[in-house]
Amino acid sequence: MDTTLEKIKTLRSQLNEHNYRYYVLNAPLISDMDFDLMMRELQELENQYPQYADPNSPTQRVGSDINKSFKQVVHKYPMLSLSNTYTVEEVSDFYTRVEESLNTAFQIVGELKYDGTSISLTYVDGKLVRAVTRGDGTQGDDVTDNVKTIRSLPLQLRGSGYPREFEIRGEVLMPWNVFERLNQEREAQEEPLFANPRNAASGTLKLQNSSVVASRQLDAYLYYLLGDDLPSDSHYENLQAARSWGFKISDAMRRLNSLNEINDFIRFWDVNRKTLPVATDGIVFKVDSLLQQKNLGYTAKSPRWAIAYKFQAERAETRLNYVSYQVGRTGAVTPVANLDPVLLSGTTVKRASLHNADIIESLDLHIGDMVYVEKGGEIIPKIVGVNTEARFMIGEKVRFISRCPEPECNTPLVRYEGEAAYYCPNETGCPPQIKGRIEHFISRRAMNIEGIGTETVDLFFRLGIVKNIADLYTLEVSQIARLERLGEKSARNIVDSVANSVTVPFERVLFALGIRFVGETTAKKLAYAFKNIDALKNATEEELVAVDEIGDKIAQSVIRYFKDEHNLEQLERLKQYGLQFEISPEQLSLHTDRLQGATIVISGTFIHHSREEYKSLIERHGGKNTSSISGKTCYLLAGSNMGPAKLEKARKLGIQIISEDEFLKMIES
Ligand code: IVH
């Protein structure tokens, strides 16, 4: 073997080992810095010798910024759910049912029920080949690239004795500390918060950009092995084997031999789960023997050989003092219950979410009521009921407000069809909406203006210095250096940063404007499709929906935006201040329509560019990259070592197979 390849292989296996020790065993042998140095060395070798690329190399865990929609994959074995129980008695009923059906000795395995999002992984010849979400249980999204960024999952198995092909299922989780940090960042960016780590984990897995997924530090616990030739008839033993192959298997798993042991297990974890680094919402009990599992079988929705026992959400009773209302950037109005402080799962709760008008109505809430507050997996506590027996004197009935709660606004609220929330429609005159839009405009992914946080926006707005996004460009050092908490240095920083923002490319300016439903990806699509703001302004609904992935809802919102006088005035001002309102010639020269409308599948390994680079080349030239071959595929971009099955399929469908060189010729000017 060539010495470079040997070096690459050694580095890969060392990095895999260190990864495992760090993320699975929690017992690193080398410093983070040494790890990074090794990783960098490997990355450099792989860049230099692309012929040795390997999709399962440890360098591939960093993700890519290529956008793609997920391929649907049908589960080989459907992903069922478990029937839930809430009391020890119901668990005991389950035990008796199993006992009577089997009529022979059996063991139960007790496990924690992890509260994340479930995933099914397929391994072939010891390599991770596919990761699919639960979806509807029958088919789910192929999220392999995103899952590869989870450091505690082996891309290449360790040890021996694993079946040639098998599936393993488990839960992808966001640890509490990562979740809290993420929400703090989101709060600072005025992005909507995740209600709990489960939503954060599933939201993260569905992100289009796997490098963002990598930054979110997900973890995964595995709890179910499926396949034709598993090592043992025992579920417990199989998971022990899986542990030896490098998977993270919970240490909480126990074999239990009686109802007494089951009850002890419940009592123990009811208390001790609070010390775990990840969220759990119950316990799962499974019959250990696979043969016995088979005999017990399934109902339509869930196995008869397993049951979930759900932990009681923690609940407290306290007094409702008043209801306040908050207006967000989009104008949505959220009701908040203000309570007598009460201790709940270790924190003092003073405020709780009331969700929407319908929920207030169904609770028949009155001021002064004693209410039940719950904090389940949610970070924001919620009101779940009223103790009507404690209602000695009835207070005023809580009615959802009909006008905007902002004193300066007071506009009648509206409710859009199909939505539970009420909105303040006064987009251009309602202070929290304006401030929210200013904060969005300056945020990192938009104009990236530094030195201005929520409080400074508030201050500038209060003083009337910045009443809309265009006013930012009129700020002067002398004028703001005198203000409270600012000084010469931060004032200069703000003004410089505002000045620098005029070089921000058009697609980000378009995102920064905060047009409803126009997120980062949509802004990019629109920017390249229309090239400048005037063309976009004059676009008809038909022209807008003709753009890939732009639907009616977005099209109508864009049209509405450009109809508004305030917006047009503001755009004129921003143009005068020198912001980018068209795609630059450099950006444009990188984009052509040579592959316009062509769907291209990439397969194999390449010499001139990496697969990721080919993906972005396809997109840059107006083509679309998909991962599987179908009747819609126009070209198969084939490298070396391509799977024979793919080649066969492409031939059968009469798809044109092109080499790297042919592809590069196609996009050449
Ligand atoms: S076993 C056929 N074990 O709970 C049974 N599930 O309602 C397969 N879950 O979708 C599931 N921890 O996402 C199993 N230790 C555990 C679990 C677990 C969490 C989740 C899983 C599943 C849901 C069942």
Tens of pLDDT, residues 258-298 = 999 999 999 999 889 888 999 998 999 999 999 999 999 99
Span from the CA of 402 to the centroid of ligand 1 (angstroms): 44
The tens digit of pLDDT for each residue in 132-146 reads 999 888 889 999 999
C-alpha pair distances (Å), 445 with each of 191, 441, 464: 12, 9, 26
Q: Which of 31-35, 140-144, 638-642 has the highest mean pLDDT?
A: 140-144
Mutating to test ligand 1, I would choose from 76, 77, 81, 82 the residue with most ligand atoms within 8 A of its C-beta, which is 82
Residue type, 341: P
Has residue 390 got a pLDDT over 90? no
CB 442 within 8 A of CB 449: yes
Span from the CA of 633 to the centroid of ligand 1 (angstroms): 37
Has residue 257 got a pLDDT over 80? yes
pLDDT (average), residues 374-383: 75
The tens digit of pLDDT for each residue in 405-416 reads 999 999 999 987
33 annotated to bind ligand:
yes
CB 381 within 8 A of CB 344: yes
CB 414 within 8 A of CB 422: yes
pLDDT (average), residues 463-482: 94
CA distance 350 to 412: 29
Q: Is the Cβ atom of 75 under 6 angstroms away from ligand 1?
A: no
Task: Identify the pLDDT of residue 533.
Answer: 97
CB 333 within 8 A of CB 339: no
Residue nearest atom 12 in ligand 1 by C-alpha distance: 113
Greater model confidence, 169 or 353: 169
Task: Identify the pLDDT of residue 191.
Answer: 65
Q: How many CB atoms lie within 10 A of CB 333?
A: 23
Has residue 485 got a pLDDT over 80? no
CA distance 584 to 508: 13
Residue 140: strand pairing partners: 73
Q: Is the Cβ atom of 113 under 6 angstroms away from ligand 1?
A: yes
Judged by DSSP in three states, 238 sits in helix
Task: Identify the pLDDT of residue 190.
Answer: 56
Q: How many CB atoms lie within 10 A of CB 473?
A: 18
Task: Identify the pLDDT of residue 530.
Answer: 95
Residue 415: strand pairing partners: 422
> In percent, how much of the chain has pLDDT > 90?
58
Q: What is the pTM of this model?
A: 0.56
Task: Identify the pLDDT of residue 60.
Answer: 82
The tens digit of pLDDT for each residue in 345-354 reads 767 889 998 8
Residue 61: strand pairing partners: none
Which atom of ligand 1 lies closest to the CA of 115? 19
C-alpha pair distances (Å), 592 with each of 135, 314, 468, 521, 542: 36, 58, 36, 18, 23
Mutating to test ligand 1, I would choose from 75, 114, 249 the residue with most ligand atoms within 8 A of its C-beta, which is 114
Has residue 534 got a pLDDT over 90? yes
Q: Is the Cβ atom of 190 under 6 angstroms away from ligand 1?
A: no
Task: Identify the pLDDT of residue 166.
Answer: 97
Residues 6+ apart with CB under 8 A from 634: 598, 599, 600, 655, 656
Judged by DSSP in three states, 392 sits in coil
Task: Identify the pLDDT of residue 586.
Answer: 84
CA distance 96 to 288: 16
Task: Identify the pLDDT of residue 289.
Answer: 97
Task: Identify the pLDDT of residue 67.
Answer: 43
Has residue 147 got a pLDDT over 70? yes
Among candidate residues 585, 582, 619, the one with its CA nearest the CA of residue 602 = 619
**Average pLDDT over all residues of the chain:** 90
pLDDT (average), residues 52-68: 73
CA distance 577 to 573: 6
Span from the CA of 287 to the centroid of ligand 1 (angstroms): 14
The tens digit of pLDDT for each residue in 496-529 reads 999 999 999 999 999 999 998 888 778 988 998 9
> In percent, how much of the chain has pLDDT > 70?
97
Residue type, 571: L
Greater model confidence, 589 or 179: 179
Has residue 150 got a pLDDT over 70? yes
Residues 6+ apart with CB under 8 A from 107: 236, 255, 256, 257, 287, 288, 289
Task: Identify the pLDDT of residue 63.
Answer: 64
pLDDT (average), residues 574-582: 97
**Reduced 3-state DSSP string for 168-187:** EEEEEECCHHHHHHHHHHHH
Among candidate residues 304, 313, 460, the one with its CA nearest the CA of residue 378 = 313
**Beta strands 599-603 and 414-415, pairing class:** unpaired
Has residue 212 got a pLDDT over 50? yes
35 annotated to bind ligand:
yes
Catalytic residues: 113
Q: Is the Cβ atom of 82 under 6 angstroms away from ligand 1?
A: yes
Greater model confidence, 538 or 193: 538
CA distance 552 to 549: 10
Residues 6+ apart with CB under 8 A from 527: 505, 506, 507, 510, 583
Span from the CA of 145 to the centroid of ligand 1 (angstroms): 23
What secondary structure letter does DSSP report for 429?
T
What secondary structure letter does DSSP report for 413?
P
255 annotated to bind ligand:
no
